[in-house]
Chain A
Amino acid sequence: MATESIKYLAPNTENKVKTQVFPRPGQHTTGLVDWLTTIDHKKIGLMYGMTALFFLIVGGIEALLIRSQLWDHNMDVLTNREYNQMFTMHGTTMVFLVIMPLSAAFFNFIMPLQIGARDVAFPRMNALSLWCFVGGGLILNLSWFFTGGSPAIGWFGYAPLTDTRFAEVIGDMGPDFWIFSLQILGIASLLASFNFITTIINMRAPGMTMMRLPVFTWMTLIVSFLIILAFPAITIALVELMFDRTFGTNFFDFLEGGKPHLWQHLFWIFGHPEVYILILPAMGIVSEVIPVFSRKPLFGYGLVIFSGAIIGFMGFAVWSHHMFTTGMGVVATSAFAMLTMLIAIPTGVKIFNWIGTMWGGRIRFDTPMLFALGFITMFMIGGFTGIMHSSVPIDAQHQDSYFVVAHFHYVLIGGALFGLFCGFYFWLPKMTGRMMNEKLGKFVFTLMFLGFNLTFFPMHYLGMIGQPRRTHTYNEGHGFETWNQIATIGAFILGVGIVIGIYQFVSSFFNKKLKPAGKNPWDARTLEWALSSPVKEYNFARTPIIKARDQAWENNYGPRENHSEKEPLDDHGVHMPDRSWWPLVTALGLFGLAMGMLFHRTIDPSGELVRDYTVPILAGSVAIIGMIMWALEGPGGYHLFPKENEE
Chain B
Amino acid sequence: MISSLTKLLTIRNLVSGLFLLLAGSCSRIDHKQSALDPKGLVSQNQYDVFMLSVWITIFLFCTVGGCLLYVLWRYRAKNAEEAKEIPPQSHGNSMVETGLIIASSIILVILAVPTLQGVVLLNRVPDANDSETLEKLGLDRSQIDGAITVNVTGKRFFWVFEYPQFGIVTANELVFPATKAVRINLRTEDVIHSFWVPKLAGKMDLMPGQENFMWFIADQKKILGETDVATAMPAVHDGTMRSKVFAKQKFSDEFEPVGGLFYGQCAEFCGNSHAYMSFRALAQTDEDFDLWVKRFQNAQNPNLQTKLYDPKSSYNKNSFVSFADNKLGSGANREYRSVRKISPGQSPQVAPGAWEKAHSDDYEIGKQLFSSLQCVQCHAVNRTGLGAKGPNLTLYGLRTSLAAGWMRNDEESLSKWLKNSNEIKFGNLMWNGEGIDDRHPLRNLQDDDQKVNQLIAYLLGQS
Contacts and interface: CB of A to CB of B under 8 A. Distances in A.
Interface of A: 76, 79-81, 84, 152-154, 158, 160-161, 166, 168, 254-255, 257-261, 294-303, 325-327, 329-330, 333-334, 337-338, 341-342, 344-345, 348-349, 351-353, 355-356, 358-365, 373, 376-377, 380-381, 384-385, 387-388, 390-397, 399-401, 461, 464-479, 482-483, 523, 557
B230 interface: no
30 contacts: A84-B274, A152-B271, A258-B209, A297-B90, A297-B91, A299-B93, A300-B91, A327-B207, A327-B212, A330-B124, A344-B104, A345-B104, A351-B64, A353-B97, A355-B71, A358-B75, A362-B75, A362-B87, A385-B57, A387-B111, A392-B119, A393-B115, A393-B121, A396-B122, A397-B46, A461-B26, A465-B36, A471-B274, A472-B274, A478-B254
Contact of B92 (A356, A388, A523): A356
A254 B90 contact: no
Contacts of B274: 80, 84, 470-472
Contact of B271 (A161, A341, A365): A161
A473 B276 CA distance: 8
Interface string B179-211: 000000010001110101010011111011110
B120 A477 contact: no
B113 to A, nearest CB: 10
Contacts of A391: 49-50, 53, 111, 114-115, 118
Contacts of A401: 35, 267
Contact of A478 (B31, B82, B97): B31
Contact of A393 (B45, B210, B255): B45
B112 A483 contact: no
Given A152-B272, A363-B75, A399-B203, A468 B266 contact: yes
Contact of B275 (A303, A351, A474): A474
A325 B204 contact: yes
Nearest to A359: B71
A514 B4 CA distance: 35
B9 interface: no
A337 B196 contact: no
Contacts of A168: 271-272, 427
Given A373-B68, A396-B202, 13 more contacts: A79-B427, A80-B275, A158-B269, A297-B90, A300-B97, A360-B75, A362-B85, A387-B56, A393-B118, A394-B53, A466-B32, A468-B267, A468-B275
Nearest to B109: A341
Contacts of B45: 393
Contacts of A392: 115, 118-119, 122
B234 to A, nearest CB: 19
A152 B49 CA distance: 35
Contacts of A161: 191-192, 269-271
Nearest to A158: B192
B161 to A, nearest CB: 19
A381 B253 CA distance: 33
Interface in B207-265: 207-210, 212-213, 250-255, 263, 265
Contacts of B22: 482
Nearest to A480: B31
Contact of A330 (B32, B68, B83, B123): B123
Interface in B54-101: 54, 56-57, 60-61, 64-65, 67-68, 71-72, 75-77, 82-94, 96-97, 100-101
B32 A478 contact: yes
B273 interface: yes
Give the interface size bracket for B toward A.
35 or more
Contact of A166 (B88, B191, B205): B191
A161 B270 CA distance: 7
Contacts of B94: 300
B75 A303 contact: no
Contacts of B21: 482
B88 A360 contact: yes
A431 B220 CA distance: 67
B378 interface: no
Interface of B: 21-22, 25-26, 29, 31-36, 43, 45-47, 49-50, 53-54, 56-57, 60-61, 64-65, 67-68, 71-72, 75-77, 82-94, 96-97, 100-101, 104-105, 108, 111-112, 114-116, 118-124, 186, 190-192, 194, 196, 198, 201-205, 207-210, 212-213, 250-255, 263, 265-275, 278, 406, 426-427
Contacts of A482: 21-22, 25
A433 B138 CA distance: 71
Contact of A352 (B97, B267, B275): B97
A393 to B, nearest CB: 3
A464 B36 contact: yes
Listed residue (B205, B250, B427) with the most chain A CB atoms within 10 angstroms of its CB: B205
Given A80-B275, A380-B64, A400-B267, A464 B210 contact: no
Contacts of A476: 251-252
Nearest to B83: A364
Contacts of B119: 330, 333-334, 337, 392-393
Contact of B207 (A261, A302, A470): A261
A29 to B, nearest CB: 44
Nearest to A333: B119
A142 to B, nearest CB: 22
B265 A466 contact: yes
A481 B123 CA distance: 34
Contact of A388 (B47, B50, B116, B202): B50
Nearest to B256: A477
Listed residue (A298, A337, A393) with the most chain B CB atoms within 10 angstroms of its CB: A393
A583 to B, nearest CB: 38
A364 B81 CA distance: 11
A254 B56 CA distance: 42
Nearest to A558: B89
Contacts of B31: 465-466, 478-479
Given A325-B202, A325-B205, A384 B60 contact: yes
B194 A400 contact: yes
Contacts of A255: 208
B205 A160 contact: no
A397 B34 CA distance: 10
A405 B210 CA distance: 27
Contacts of B25: 479, 482-483
A384 B31 CA distance: 25
B427 A81 contact: yes
Contact of B202 (A296, A397, A483): A397
Contacts of B116: 334, 337-338
A437 to B, nearest CB: 19
A474 B33 CA distance: 12
A475 B273 CA distance: 13
A296 B87 contact: yes
A400 to B, nearest CB: 4
Q: 5 closest Cβ contacts across the A-B interface?
A: A396-B202, A466-B33, A393-B118, A471-B275, A254-B209
Contacts of A376: 68
B20 to A, nearest CB: 12
A513 B26 CA distance: 50
A43 B82 CA distance: 38
A629 to B, nearest CB: 45
B208 A341 contact: no
B321 to A, nearest CB: 43
A345 B108 contact: yes
A353 B68 CA distance: 11
A254 B211 CA distance: 13
A584 B448 CA distance: 64
B414 to A, nearest CB: 17
B64 A396 contact: no
A365 B80 CA distance: 12
A568 to B, nearest CB: 31
Listed residue (B87, B119, B198, B426) with the most chain A CB atoms within 10 angstroms of its CB: B119
A260 B192 contact: yes
A325 B210 contact: no
A394 B46 contact: yes
Contacts of B250: 477
